[in-house]
Amino acid sequence: MTDPLRILHLSDTHLYGDGRLHYGLVDTLAALDRVLVRAGELEAVDLVVASGDLSDDGSAASYRLLKERLEPWAEERGAAVAYAMGNHDLPDAFEEVLGARETELAVGGFRVVTVDTTVARAGYGRLDGARLERLRDTLSTPSANGTVVVLHHPPVRPTTGLFDTLRLVDPQPLIDVCSASDVRLILAGHYHHALITEAGQPGIPVVVAPAVANTTDVLWPAPRERAERGAGFAMVQLPVDGPVRAHVVRAPAADDGETVYDLDAEAIARIAADSGWSGA
């Protein structure tokens, strides 16, 4: 493969198996359909990545809805599909419909590895020793064109206060393993807003996809936290040699920008107490 690896990266679809609305407001299945229509304008796609929080209710029905949409869309374009677990996903139904939580696939000389960063009944992420060792073993043999790592919790600091206790705890061991190998790109979700940055030294590009379900307002003044209606995706090009190129694309709707939630400090503290990292 001499052309860049062309990736459609989407995240945080938060689907329900019974058609419920997210926060009682957002039809996430309709948002996903809108994203795929917009992404259909891409010239070509080699890989579709869905980086976690694919379901909100953890039902097999919700994963079937996702699979019934993504896989035919990808097949029409000759693209592979990689799914990663998020903190809202439930492992039994995920594996029943979408397959193993951690996978390795080859696409045009590139290796794509999914990593499960979830902690049962928690919103934060963490890699235990066994998962880290599996990743290290996988990366011990280089691939022809390098590796793409896909996970839900980004290994870079959050932008807004809500995600401070919902972050990936102690990301440095993961970054060290990736930096010592052929990892060329890390794809993540979770933050519900786009972020393009680097992790480690020398820097590995990290692309956090915007959410399909809603969009975090990164300019909302602390300590409050706001999300608004809006869906999008990232289009990423990873060349055999040279820098990564990433663009963020919106899939617009008439009600974009309307408030989905506006949390005060007390509400954020309750979420942190219920599912955040306590430092224990």
For residue 257, what is the domain's CATH number?
3.60.21.10
Residue type at position 135: L
265 pLDDT higher than 60: yes
End-to-end CA distance of the chain: 47
Instruction: Assess if residue 70 is contained within a domain.
Output: yes
Instruction: Assess if residue 237 is contained within a domain.
Output: yes
Instruction: Assess if residue 141 is contained within a domain.
Output: yes
User: What is the structure's pLDDT at 64?
Assistant: 98
Give the residue numbers spanning the domain of 67.
5-275
Under 8 Å CB-to-CB from 59, ≥6 apart: which residues? 16, 17, 18, 90, 93
List, for residues 192-244, the tens digit of each pLDDT value: 999 999 998 889 999 999 999 999 999 999 999 999 999 999 999 999 999 99
User: What is the structure's pLDDT at 124?
Assistant: 98
List, for residues 18-60, the tens digit of each pLDDT value: 999 999 999 999 999 999 999 999 999 999 999 999 999 999 9
User: What is the structure's pLDDT at 279?
Assistant: 76
List, for residues 155-176, the tens digit of each pLDDT value: 999 999 999 999 999 999 999 9
Contact 61, 18 (CB under 8 A): yes
Instruction: Assess if residue 82 is contained within a domain.
Output: yes
Average of per-residue pLDDT values in the chain: 97
Instruction: Assess if residue 130 is contained within a domain.
Output: yes
The dihedral formed by the CA atoms of 32, 112, 187 and 173, expressed in degrees to the nearest 10? 140
274 pLDDT higher than 60: yes
User: What is the structure's pLDDT at 125?
Assistant: 98
83 pLDDT higher than 80: yes
User: What is the structure's pLDDT at 90?
Assistant: 98
Instruction: Assess if residue 117 is contained within a domain.
Output: yes
Q: Has this prediction a pTM greater than 0.95?
A: yes
Instruction: Assess if residue 151 is contained within a domain.
Output: yes
Output the CA–CA distances (angstroms, integers) from residue 129 to 9, 134, 136, 177, 229, in the order listed.
28, 9, 10, 12, 38
**How many domains are contained in the chain?**
1
DSSP label at 77? T
Instruction: Assess if residue 280 is contained within a domain.
Output: no
